[in-house]
Structure 1
Amino acid sequence: MDIATMHFWGKTKYWWALIITGILMIPCGLWLWFQPALGYEVLSLLLGWLLILFGIVQLIVSGNVKQKVRGWGWWLAGGIIDILIGFILVGNLSFSEAVLPFFFAFIFMYKGIANLFSALNMVSTHRYWWLYLVNGLLLL
Structure 2
Amino acid sequence: MKTTYLNNDAAQYWWLMFCSGVLFIGLGIWMLAAPVSSYLSLSLLFAFGMIFAGIFEVTFSVSNRKRLHGWGWTLSGGLIDIFLGGYLLNLPLLTMVIMPVIIGLWMLFRGFMAISSSIELRAYGVLDWAWLLLTGILIVILSVLIIADPLFGAINIVVWTAFAFLLSGIFRILLSLQLRSLARNLS
TM-score when scaled to structure 1?
0.71
Contact 2:27/2:49, CA 8 A, preserved across alignment: no
Higher relative CO (Cα under 8 Å, sequence separation at least 6) belongs to: 2
What code does the residue aligned with 1:7 have?
Answer: Y
1:38 aligned partner, one-letter code: S
8 Å Cα contact 1:112-1:135 kept in structure 2: yes
Aligned to 2:93: 94
Q: Structure 1 unaligned runs (5+)?
A: none
Q: Read off the aligned partner of 1:44 and give its amino acid letter.
A: S
Matched, 1:13 2:7: no
Q: In structure 2, do the counterparts of structure 1 residues 122 and 43 end up closer, same or farther at CA, with 3 Å as the change threshold? A: same
2:51 maps to 1:52: yes
C-alpha distance in structure 2 between counterparts of 1:62 and 1:39, whole Å: 34
Contact 2:20 2:53 in 1 (8 A): yes
Q: Could you tell me how far apart the structure 1 residues matched to 2:103 and 2:30 are? A: 20
**C-alpha distance in 1 between matches for 2:13 and 2:119:** 30
Instruction: Summarize the Cα distance change of 1:69–1:100 in structure 2 as closer, same or farther, 3 Å threshold.
Output: same
Greater percentage in helix? 2
1:7-56 deviation line (CA, Å, top 9, x unaligned): 24961432112212221332332222222221422221111001110111
Once residues 70 and 120 of structure 2 are traced to their aligned partners in structure 1, the CA distance between those partners, rounded to angstroms, is 15
Gaps of 5+ in 2: 145-187
Q: Distance in 2 between matches of 1:117 and 1:12?
A: 17
C-alpha distance in 1 between matches for 2:29 and 2:20 = 15
Alignment-derived partner of residue 84 in structure 1:
83
Verify the 8 A CA contact 1:12 1:66 in the aligned structure 2: no
2:23 & 2:95 partners in 1: Cα distance?
Answer: 22
Pairs aligned (count): 136
* Deviation >4 Å, runs of 4+: 111-131
1:37 counterpart residue number: 36
Task: Calculate the aligned-residue CA RMSD, in Å.
Answer: 3.6
Identity of aligned residues (%): 26
Distance 1:96 1:31 in 2: 20
Which TM-score applies when normalising by structure 2? 0.56
